[in-house]
Structure 1
């Protein structure tokens, strides 16, 4: 892998944020924090229009209550467990602030649990400012400015990021030109799964990709570390005589579908197509 490609992949993963567990430990699915945050923002704009979200952070509510996932998790993914949603927001005086807080908390909790499939048990709200005008007017002004995303940041162009080389997105990542590490090696070290994927439509990974694209709700395959489908062998567990096969699929979910249900359907489809019924992990990187 070239150093440029490695740098782009690091930036891409940093831009996605943390990978949050969908459902419980047996569901074997995760979603990018950025994708979940976009859904929460849209729900707020629709249900609580007098509010402007300034920051969204999702993490474990109690790290001690987290559990080991039933399948190897993607690199940097949070373990399954109750989640805390922390939101900073500004609001107008159109409603009394306690009522606004109550409506916002309900909208966020329902969207996170029922629309997405996150096990959110706590919603922490922090007021940062009082607004004189409706946030809708601010959003309309931002929308007219080219190169801005819905969060007010610089939009990422297709195939890369808008950040210049050498920014904080790659801080801590040592890249030597011509000697960048292979994505499969990184994933293997992080998850304990040896990557055995082969490219091509006629390969096993290609066949799995075709099966995944046939699952209702899957809009496209993505691929955080280069390949949307990774096949490999995980270390033997207690009672296993041989290493067990494992598959990881990175994908986007179409509008109108619940990510958790789509991920469950993908896991079942991939497990059924494999001759040895491999374990399967699903990473939802985008919600289209």
Structure 2
């Protein structure tokens, strides 16, 4: 059967035109709008990157009693807001003149950047590697994550440990959001609910991580001898099935929580109180 491609002319070719592949003239046979998913993914991630970069370098409008932006917590610099109501350890002294957010965002950012789902998302959305299922990537060869710099993706598990610590601090911030501006308990505003939804989604995304699933139930030969770990492994596995959804929901929620604090701090509106 004539294919329109001379196999001899494909010597040395790779990818979809490799000699071991069927000699099909077209790059792919998909007729649907396969490009919508990677395009939407790239747009969504780009919006968050631009917004979070602006907020991280702003070094302002990140606190409004009793709320502190999740981008700036825990605050580890001496130049934090003087009325900061959450953890403020000033580990970095006065020599750190940049935004305090730059000290802490590296941990949740590193966790998401090396996350299995986000790797798939930005590999497809920005690098077209591959752009979609059954669509050949434009690169001449594929080396996977076995070389620098992508081999650094293997540090994902260590970023998971730091992400758990940051989630713990944000949980504390959420508890403090149920105080009023005088630090008296019994307050609940719309911001309290925003923070509550955000921390639930952050914990759900963090615990649905593939590394968490392996830490909980990995390296076991007999689940029957470890019923507690087996039960936890099952729960994490159910969360893991929705890892992609939780990744996006938590990404949106943390951005909304920061935006809410920013709008309060700039006087755009007052925090509606329920009691």
Give the TM-score category using the shorter length: under 0.3
Give the TM-score, by structure 2 length. 0.22
Give the TM-score, by structure 1 length. 0.22
Larger Rg: 2
Instruction: Give the structure with the higher percent strand.
Output: 1
Instruction: Give the structure with the higher percent helix.
Output: 2
